[in-house]
Amino acid sequence: MRWAELLDVLTDSDRKREVVIERATEAERLALFLLRREGWAAKLAPRDIRHFSIEISKPGQRTAVELKNQRAKVHLGQIERFLDFLSSGPKHFNTGLFISSSGFTPSVYAYLREERIANLQLAIMRDNNLHFDPERIDQAEERERPIYIGVFTCKGGVGKTTISAHLAGAFAMNGYDVALIDLDHQQNLRKILGEGVYLPATRGNFGSVVSVLTKDEWDEGDYRETKVVVCDCNPEFEANPRDYVQKFDYCIVPTTLNPLGINKNADVIKRTLSAIRRENQKAELFILINALQTDEANRNILLNQALHAQFKTLRETDSRIHYISPADCAIRFSKQLLYWGYHLFDGSKPQLAFRSVGRYSYPRMDFLKLVDQLELHTEIAKAKSAGTS
């Protein structure tokens, strides 16, 4: 039902109270009406404000509302920006409300649960109603076979094992059971994580398992609940089993954003992409910046432009090659990731580097955003098991 049709069904008293705001979009007008129907006083944000769309209030409470009317689901990067506004913006806002017409990615729900964000509520605007239980609406369909993701580059020392393990952990936080396959002859995953890790339930969500397996131990028939398979690949391409490479739906190719890395790794990445394409024509290939130094913004901009230019020609000939801009997603340098695996020396139990330090856990946010990047380019959300919804 459109705004004009909605006005036709209002009572006379409602119609007198409701004023059509000319500058508002149709989605904003509908949101204003629905929020007022929920008992809020609601008005549009000033024209020069870009951090939120609507302001609502009740006695003793003022809430900033961000409204997104878009085809794609709202992803964690958009939520992160709104959370930054809530923490550093006008102090007269007690809470925030994020309304989406299309829903939210699983990473959004996982992150809000894990970080215990209490000052932000989510809602879906659909069928002329506001639904404040959006995760139930966003439950995805079950997929017949697991999704296969390879983390690979034709050289060592770029963080493949760390990325593989924590990408698997991010999927597990989204409600997937994950198989983490160690294809590297050094078997570092098994050394660090043993047989696997369990991510316990939070706020009523089901816990999930990351099982660490060798290439010979993995069998789809034995792990029917597993919907995502992440492979830590051998840097020697020929040493990776062809049947695994041919199954890859997605490949993550990590690199670093520094002058030496750009000069050396750009050719390595091109060889990596070429090698994958010889065995697999369908996989979506994602180039990811690892160990990003965030305190060098100006240098990062210049280096990012130089690295991106290296792959422009490849992108023109292969639409399945994606360069992930650090502005959208990168794995930031952190001591948590640098010292991941320290439990081997202090005798503690195996775990991922997702513990919150200070305000947030940056590794947790970064890897959940990486999952979002994959979901925004794919239908990976369909892999969500009905049993873990």
Tens of pLDDT along 312-370?
888 888 989 999 999 999 999 999 999 999 999 998 888 899 987 766 789 999 999 99
Are 114 and 236 contained in the same domain?
no
Confidence of residue 2 (pLDDT cuts 50, 70, 90): very low
Q: How far apart, in whole angstroms, are the C-alpha atoms of residue 45 and residue 31?
A: 13
- Say whether pLDDT at 97 is over 60: yes
142 lies in a domain?
no
What is the rounded average pLDDT of the residues 74-84? 93
What is the rounded average pLDDT of the residues 209-231? 91
* Residue 193: closest CA among 178, 172, 211, 170: 211
- Say whether pLDDT at 16 is over 50: no
Confidence of residue 205 (pLDDT cuts 50, 70, 90): low
Are 126 and 9 contained in the same domain?
yes
Which domain-ending residue is among 113, 137, 161? 137
Are 124 and 164 contained in the same domain?
no
CATH of the domain at 351: 3.40.50.300
Tokens describing residue 209: 């398992």
SS3 state of residue 176: coil
pLDDT at 314: 83
List the single range of 27-36, 109-118, 153-162 with lowest mean pLDDT. 153-162
Which domain-ending residue is among 137, 162, 195? 137
Are 19 and 47 contained in the same domain?
yes
Are 100 and 183 contained in the same domain?
no
Q: pLDDT tens for residues 130-173?
A: 999 898 888 643 446 789 999 998 877 789 999 999 999 999 98
Q: Output the pTM of the full model.
A: 0.75
Which domain-ending residue is among 81, 106, 137? 137
The runs of H, that is alpha helices, within the chain are 3-8, 12-17, 26-37, 76-88, 106-114, 134-137, 160-173, 188-193, 242-247, 259-279, 297-310, 312-317, 335-338, 343-346, 362-377
Are 112 and 153 contained in the same domain?
no
Domain that holds residue 47: 3-137
